[in-house]
């Protein structure tokens, strides 16, 4: 009899559980939470995309205040040669490229560490890329006859207005600093 009562009670509980009333407001609240989570997810994705696009639109070396000498027109390139110190670097690059942005992030600590801020010029070739012969024009403006620029980005090292070396990655830039003993020159 005890067993039977237990079975009957269990059956009643199962029956009551399936007929249990859930208020409509719980369904609405659950739906609102799901919609909120979906909108929040889309917002975060869009924010990340905009932030990433914004990062590569400007030169990291400029936005991080690592260097302030930016040139974006052919005519301004002449100013480098007339006002330059005995040794200097010219970084020729463009924006809207993730690899260029990453290169700039890698060379920033090297510029800071070796105190090259006043010896570092940036030629922003973003607008110059529209010309078919932009590399030829840049080579002419910088008086480069040997070791011509063939691709961007590139870091050029000049001593007494003469091109000594050119590199196109952070590892080679670091090696150039060590080989040329830049720390000794910058004192």
Domain ranges of the chain: 2-57, 60-185
Write down the pLDDT at residue 59. Answer: 83
Write down the pLDDT at residue 29. Answer: 92
Write down the pLDDT at residue 34. Answer: 95
Instruction: Provide the pairing of β-strand 162-167 with 120-124.
Output: unpaired
Q: Exposed e or buried b for every residue in 104-121, given b needs 16+ CB within 10 A? A: beebbebbeebebeebbb
Task: For residue range 14-73, list pLDDT tens digits in order.
Answer: 555 556 777 888 889 999 999 999 999 999 999 988 887 777 778 888 888 888 788 888
Give the bridge partners for 165, in sequence order.
Answer: 157
CATH number of this structure's domain 60-185, picked from the four choices 3.60.70.12, 3.40.30.10, 3.40.50.1820, 3.10.310.40: 3.40.30.10
Q: What is the pTM (predicted TM-score) of this model?
A: 0.71
In whole angstroms, give the CA distance from residue 118 to residue 116: 6
In whole angstroms, give the CA distance from residue 117 to residue 110: 10
**Where does the pLDDT of residue 4 fall: very low under 50, low under 70, confident under 90, or very high at 90 and above?**
low
Mean pLDDT for the chain overall: 82
């Amino acid at each position: 009899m005890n067993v039977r009562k237990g079975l009957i009670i269990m059956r009643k509980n199962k029956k009551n559980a399936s007929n249990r009333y859930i208020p409509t407001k719980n369904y609405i609240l659950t739906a609102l939470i799901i919609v909120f989570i979906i909108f929040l997810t889309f917002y975060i994705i869009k924010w990340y995309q905009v932030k990433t696009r914004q990062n590569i639109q400007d030169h990291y070396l400029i936005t991080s205040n690592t260097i302030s000498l930016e040139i974006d027109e052919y005519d301004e390139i002449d100013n480098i040669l007339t006002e330059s110190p005995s040794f200097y670097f010219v970084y020729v690059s463009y924006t809207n490229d993730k690899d260029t942005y990453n290169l700039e992030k890698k060379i920033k600590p090297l510029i800071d560490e070796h105190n090259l801020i006043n010896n570092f010029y940036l030629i922003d070739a973003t607008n110059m890329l529209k010309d078919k012969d932009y590399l030829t024009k840049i080579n002419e403006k910088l008086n480069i006859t040997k070791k011509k620029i063939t691709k961007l980005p590139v870091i050029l090292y000049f001593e007494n207005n003469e091109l000594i070396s050119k590199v196109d990655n952070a590892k080679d830039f670091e090696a150039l600093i060590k080989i040329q003993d830049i720390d000794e020159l910058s004192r």
